[in-house]
């Protein structure tokens, strides 16, 4: 749906996990969790936090679910579900690696559902018409960005 299950690079994963360090103890949601390349390290990094993944593609979802069982990651839930139809209201942090149109739809969902007490961390794709609180430039070939948004400051005009 819009993007293949291509995982975040190692550098992006490291940067994203680093950015989650100052975000309290609330749930972290990975929208489009793929094979679990970011989700599983998040669940290992924060055994005391609820980590939630949403993934539509069957095989990546199955593999990530299998790894979760093998590693007994009891703080992790992985749903085979369209995250646009999911209730994101309990998320403290949302992480994603999507595509430009996906970011527009995410912004519209967050605004229409009034989800503002949350941090959004996006690998490579920015939220339209929004000012990130932080931008990390990865030390890779493309100098890829990772954006952190404080949704308290979400601009309703997309
Ligand atoms: C580029 S991968 C990112 C995987 C993982 N988050 C990471 O950073 O390694 C994006 C994933 O989002 C999934 N996806 C895209 N739209 C989705 C939707 N509406 N609901 C659930 N999963 C979706 C795709 O199937 C794909 O596996």
Q: How many whole angstroms separate alpha carbon 120 and alpha carbon 26?
A: 13
Would the pLDDT of 157 be above 90? no
The CA distances from residue 114 to 18, 111, 128, 155, in Å, are: 27, 5, 17, 12
- Ligand 1: centre distance to CA 3 (Å): 7
pLDDT for position 52: 98
Q: State the DSSP H helix or E strand holding residue 123, giving kind and residue range, or none if neither.
A: strand 119-123
> Is the whole-model pTM more than 0.75?
yes
- In short, whether 79's Cβ falls inside 6 Å of ligand 1 is no
Task: For the chain, give every domain's residue range.
Answer: 10-153
Query: Which residues is 148 bridged to in the sheet?
Result: 121, 134
Q: Specify the pLDDT at position 1.
A: 63
CA 2 / ligand 1 centre spacing (Å) = 8
Determine whether the shortest distance from the Cβ of 83 to ligand 1 is under 6 A. Answer: yes
pLDDT at 6: 94
pLDDT tens for each residue of 114-144: 998 899 999 999 999 899 999 999 999 999 9
* CA gap 114, 89 in Å, rounded: 8
The residue-averaged pLDDT of 46-68 equals 98
Residue 76's CB: how many other CB atoms inside 10 A?
28
Q: How far apart are CA 40 and CA 132, in angstroms?
A: 26
- Taking CA atoms, 63 is separated from 42, 68, 71, in Å, by 16, 9, 12
* Fold type of domain 10-153: Rossmann fold (3.40.50)
**Is any ligand 1 atom within 6 A of the Cβ of residue 61?**
no
Provide Rg for the chain, Cα atoms: 14
The edge-to-edge listing of strands for the beta sheet with 145-150 is 76-79, 51-54, 28-31, 93-96, 119-123, 145-150, 134-137
């Amino acid at each position: 749906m819009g993007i293949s299950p291509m995982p975040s690079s190692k550098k992006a994963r490291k940067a994203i996990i680093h950015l989650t360090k100052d975000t309290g103890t609330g749930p972290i949601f990975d929208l489009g969790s793929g094979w679990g390349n970011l989700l599983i390290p998040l669940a290992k990094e924060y055994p005391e936090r609820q980590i939630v993944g949403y993934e539509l593609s069957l095989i990546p979802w199955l593999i990530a679910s299998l790894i979760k069982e093998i590693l007994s990651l009891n703080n992790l839930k992985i749903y085979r579900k369209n995250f646009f139809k999911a209730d994101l209201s309990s998320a403290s942090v949302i992480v994603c690696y999507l595509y430009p149109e996906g970011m527009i739809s995410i912004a519209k969902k967050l605004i229409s559902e009034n989800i503002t007490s949350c941090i959004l961390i996006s690998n490579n794709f920015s939220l339209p018409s929004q000012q990130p609180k932080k931008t990390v430039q990865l030390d890779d070939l493309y100098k890829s960005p990772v954006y952190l948004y404080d949704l308290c400051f979400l601009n309703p005009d997309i």
